[in-house]
Structure 1
Amino acid sequence: MTKEVDQPAQLEPMPTDWQRALAVVAHPDDLEYGCAAAIADWTDGGREVVYVLATRGEAGIDTLAPEECAPLREAEQRASAAVVGVSEVEFLDHRDGVVEYGLGLRRDIAAAIRHHRPELVITLNHRDTWGGQGGGGYWNTPDHQAVGRATLDAAADAGNRWIFPELIAEQGLEPWNGVRWVAVAGSATPTHAADAGPGLERSVKSLMEHKAYIEVLTDQDPEEYCRTFLTGNARQAAARFGGRPAVTFEVFPR
């Protein structure tokens, strides 16, 4: 008898009945490593995506002092976002490498959600380790954990007028309870996926805009490095998405 091979559980398609998304991550390049191919396809379809970054990535390059690194990485992030159709990029100016989960971070993200009023919020893996699409049990950074966790919490905070009432009094930011999903890119336990094919080439170009960072990260040719990483992850996900290269997300409905 031929032994049956268990087929991997298929991932659900990402929701499409939304118009505005807010992507909240810790550093420049987080979204380019995580889900830029999906974002390119969404903006092509007329959807609006705004980026909010907790830091300017100023501690990311050993050979550059933070005051030199921050404007360079900010410029690279804005250029990178433009490649996938994102024109609005904001920075919360928490310190790179030492972002702390807490009320201040939750408040800042809740304010961004109230301001931009998204239906979909996107963030990056908030758990202790990377696995699956992230690559095999490596320890996650404190910044990713803090920002991802705070984003999940802030999606609820944004809709409650009695949490951070100063956002109303001081900034005129009324509650927004319209977030319908928080989608976590880079999760080891994804539930949904978006077709990576239409946006894959632009995601490679988008990651390549982080030239200064990539040049100190690897001796490999930058385009080869970016293409290998992104296409490899997309192809790995294909087995769970009908054979199509995919960007995976763990989706928490609200």
Structure 2
Amino acid sequence: MPALPTEAEGPVTAPERVLVFAAHPDDLDFGAAGTIARWTAAGTQVSYCIMTDGDAGGFDEAHRPEIVAMRAAEQAEAARICGVSDLHFLHQRDGFLEPSYEVVGMVVELMRKIRPDIVLAMHPERAWDRIQKSHPDHLACGEAVTRAVYPAVENPFAYPELAEAGLPAYKVPYLWFFGGPAERENHFVDITEFVDTKVEAIRIHASQHPDVERMDARVRSMLRTNARRGGLEEGRSAEAFHVVGINTPATIAGF
């Protein structure tokens, strides 16, 4: 297991730039909104990339004609609550996301534009303890990002049209995954002071919540459980991640 990031290697508390990938509007709010709010409050520039339009989501038949616009607006407002204004949408079809050459290329392009200290994405491995975390689009999101992080984004000969357009290769320092198998999680971020912000952001996705109060209680309970698993004091709340060092002082790169 690679060494976890330290303040000296690449600031965890407030990295300069973070790029977050999710399959659908609302995924990243469930997985990482508290950490994102903590970062932006400390001055981090955070960008979101939502891969699908979420067109297969929701519960109300009356919303079908406007569900794409509705979910985009929900995500924009949830982002604002967390201190994020830079949003990107890849406009893939909900339920049909694949880590294709074209999708990976779009991910590489965005990484080379933003050049983040941390890339945050959904996990590419299925979680059998709660399979709802592992929607096929979630797995495809994680796989596309992983393929982009290594080797495509740092290979000057991959996607040469990007280099020709002024987007040279870039080495991502850290890749953080959310929503994966619990046994993979090796880093816990204390978000106790940002739990209400996280829940407020999740509540904005009203088109996806048939029982808001039950959702609220469940999220808060899971955050407290995360904190206990992470060794935090009783009563604290945390989000859990699988942190992978890609290009750090602890990794061997360039071979």
Q: Same fold (TM over 0.5)?
A: yes
The change in CA–CA distance for 1:246 and 1:227 in structure 2 (over 3 A counts) is same
The change in CA–CA distance for 1:87 and 1:138 in structure 2 (over 3 A counts) is closer
TM-score normalized with structure 2 length? 0.84
Which residue pairs with 1:232 in the alignment?
Answer: 221
Which residue pairs with 1:81 in the alignment?
Answer: 79
- 2:161 is the alignment partner of 1:163: no
TM-score normalized with structure 1 length? 0.85
State the Cα deviation string for residues 171-200 of structure 1 (Å, max 9, x = none): 4322121x1111001222201011121211
Which residue pairs with 1:206 in the alignment?
Answer: 201
Aligned pairs for 1:77-226 (under 5 A) are 77-131=75-129, 136-138=130-132, 140-156=134-150, 157-169=152-164, 171-177=165-171, 179-188=172-181, 189-214=184-209, 218=210, 220=211, 222=212, 224-226=213-215
Which residue pairs with 1:54 in the alignment?
Answer: 51
Q: CA deviation at 1:227?
A: 2.2
Task: Give the share of equivalent positions with the same residue, in percent.
Answer: 30
Instruction: State how far apart, in whole Å, the 2-side matches of 1:101 and 1:67 are.
Output: 28
Which residue pairs with 1:6 in the alignment?
Answer: none
- In the alignment, structure 1 segments of 5+ residues that lack a partner are 1-10
Instruction: State how far apart, in whole Å, the 2-side matches of 1:64 and 1:105 are.
Output: 31
Residues 190 and 248, structure 1, Cα contact 8 Å, conserved in 2: yes
The change in CA–CA distance for 1:204 and 1:100 in structure 2 (over 3 A counts) is same
Instruction: State how far apart, in whole Å, the 1-side matches of 2:82 and 2:14 are.
Output: 20
Does the residue aligned with 1:128 lie in a helix, a strand or coil?
Answer: coil
Q: CA deviation at 1:225?
A: 3.0
Does the residue aligned with 2:18 lie in a helix, a strand or coil?
Answer: strand
Instruction: State how far apart, in whole Å, the 2-side matches of 1:180 and 1:117 are.
Output: 10
Residues 22 and 52, structure 1, Cα contact 8 Å, conserved in 2: yes
Which residue pairs with 1:7 in the alignment?
Answer: none
Residues 58 and 67, structure 1, Cα contact 8 Å, conserved in 2: no
Over aligned residue pairs, what C-alpha RMSD do you find?
2.0
- In the alignment, structure 2 segments of 5+ residues that lack a partner are 247-255
Which aligned segments of 4 or more residues in structure 1 are displaced greater than 6 angstroms? Answer: 11-14
Does the residue aligned with 2:109 lie in a helix, a strand or coil?
Answer: helix
Residues 134 and 180, structure 2, Cα contact 8 Å, conserved in 1: no
Amino acid at match of 2:17: R
